[in-house]
């Protein structure tokens, strides 16, 4: 089978490399960033000349792109996938998006005879790299079953959650919770530091106690090493929380905690941290309190 992969950055790169390593499929990649492209061609993928060229030559095309506007352009633009792929191809979007945009892209694909799965992922760069990333898939059940072996070639946990749109719903609920957890984890570390405990010891305790979370476990090493280069950029986290809050408005669900975390994110971006890791929410607390987690 011929597999195309467009967008091989922090997340798409490791997922694509696992497809190359774990299957015998011919893989062609395209990315605007030549350095990102090289991480996949070094393992044997062909470098596509453009999205259109990759789409035209593939049986299945993945995308992993930053913002909804990038997905819509690459999927439905004049030089994009729908305009250039052959009918019968399958399109799988691994990006985080809104349900409304996913459904709009699905309709554009369907008009060209292309089936679509929306398949946002969770677990960050480490789990994209070691193949334990979770994929939540929205789309037709028969299309899902047909693509399951390919999805399992780079994911430990693939869950079909309903029609196109439900993958985005699952992903946005998950990320809203994860960002609230980062904020709460930041407060706990700062509170401990202010109260005088050795924060490394506090970290060890909480990692083994009831306050533990993925967010807390991930935040400690970032805080202690002061390494905030992005695995998951704050700008992308802000996009996800914005989409989650829009979804909350659409369904009439008043949030209590998430809107406050949005204010934290806006503050972090206003301080120029948008390109840094999303764990930089901690630094907003640190700047406000004039105290660092050490
Ligand atoms: P990234 O910026 O590292 O990678 C995106 C890649 O897409 C870049 O290499 C960029 O050059 C490329 N690109 C952008 N526009 C393009 C175009 N028109 N044609 C071809 N290539 C293009 O972002 P990322 O962190 O890998 O995130 C990708 C998606 O995955 C986002 O939707 C994000 O919300 C989601 N996500 C990220 C994480 C994470 O931890 N980083 C976790 C889960 C989900």
Say which CATH topology domain 2-162 has: Rossmann fold (3.40.50)
Find out if CATH 3.40.30.10 is the number for domain 169-289: no
How are beta strands 121-122 and 46-47 bridged, if at all? Answer: unpaired
Q: Average per-residue pLDDT in the chain?
A: 97
List the one residue out of 184, 121, 125, 154 whose CA is nearest residue 16: 154
Question: What is the per-residue pLDDT across 43-96, written as a single tens digit (0 to 9) for each?
Answer: 999 999 999 999 999 999 999 999 999 999 999 999 999 999 999 999 999 999
Which pLDDT does position 261 carry in this prediction?
98
Residue 156 among the catalytic residues: no
CB of 11 closer than 8 Å to CB of 125: yes
- pLDDT surpassing 90 at residue 224: yes
Domain boundaries, the chain: 2-162, 169-289
Question: What is the per-residue pLDDT across 118-139, written as a single tens digit (0 to 9) for each?
Answer: 999 999 999 999 999 999 999 9
Query: Which among 7, 68, 129, 168 is the best mutation to test ligand 1's pocket, defined by most ligand atoms within 8 Å of the CB?
Result: 7
In sequence order, the 6+-apart residues with CB closer than 8 A to the CB of 290 are: none
- pLDDT surpassing 90 at residue 29: yes
Ligand 1 mean position to 24 CA, how many Å?
25
Reported pTM: 0.96
- pLDDT surpassing 90 at residue 294: no
Which pLDDT does position 264 carry in this prediction?
97
Please give the number of the atom of ligand 1 that sits closest to the Cα of 240.
34
List the one residue out of 154, 114, 151 whose CA is nearest residue 130: 154
Ligand 1 mean position to 70 CA, how many Å?
9
Ligand 1: residue whose CA is nearest its atom 21: 31
Instruction: Indicate if ligand 1 lies below 6 Å from the C-beta of 118.
Output: no
Question: What is the per-residue pLDDT across 156-196, written as a single tens digit (0 to 9) for each?
Answer: 999 999 999 999 999 999 999 999 999 999 999 999 999 99
Ligand 1: residue whose CA is nearest its atom 20: 31
- pLDDT surpassing 90 at residue 101: yes
What CA dihedral angle connects 87, 90, 95 and 98, to 10 degrees? 70
- pLDDT surpassing 90 at residue 213: yes
């Amino acid at each position: 089978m011929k597999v195309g992969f467009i967008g091989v950055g922090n997340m798409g790169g490791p997922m694509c490399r696992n497809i190359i390593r774990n299957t015998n499929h011919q893989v062609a990649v395209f990315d605007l960033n030549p350095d990102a492209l090289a991480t996949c061609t070094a393992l044997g993928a062909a470098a596509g000349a453009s999205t259109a060229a990759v789409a035209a030559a593939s049986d299945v095309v993945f995308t992993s792109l930053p913002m909804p506007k990038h997905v819509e352009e690459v999927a439905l633009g004049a030089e994009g996938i729908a305009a250039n792929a052959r009918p019968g191809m399958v399109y799988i979007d691994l990006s985080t998006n809104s349900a409304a945009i996913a459904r709009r892209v699905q309709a554009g694909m369907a008009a060209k005879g292309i089936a679509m799965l929306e398949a946002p992922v969770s677990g960050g760069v480490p789990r994209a790299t070691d193949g334990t990333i979770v994929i939540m898939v929205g789309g037709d059940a028969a299309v899902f079953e047909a693509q399951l072996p390919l999805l399992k070639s780079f994911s430990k946990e693939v869950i079909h959650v309903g029609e196109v749109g439900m993958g985005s719903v699952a992903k946005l609920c998950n990320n809203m919770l994860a960002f609230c957890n980062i904020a709460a984890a930041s407060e706990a570390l700062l509170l401990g530091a202010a109260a005088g405990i050795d924060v490394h010891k506090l970290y060890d305790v909480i990692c083994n106690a009831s306050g533990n979370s993925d967010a807390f476990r991930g935040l400690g090493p970032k805080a202690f090493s002061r390494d905030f280069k992005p695995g998951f950029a704050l700008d992308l986290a802000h996009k996800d929380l914005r989409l989650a809050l829009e979804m909350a408005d659409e369904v009439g669900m008043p949030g209590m905690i998430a809107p406050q975390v949005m204010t934290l994110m806006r503050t972090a971006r206003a301080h120029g941290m948008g390109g840094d890791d999303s764990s930089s929410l901690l630094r907003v607390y640190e700047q406000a309190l004039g105290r660092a987690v050490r």
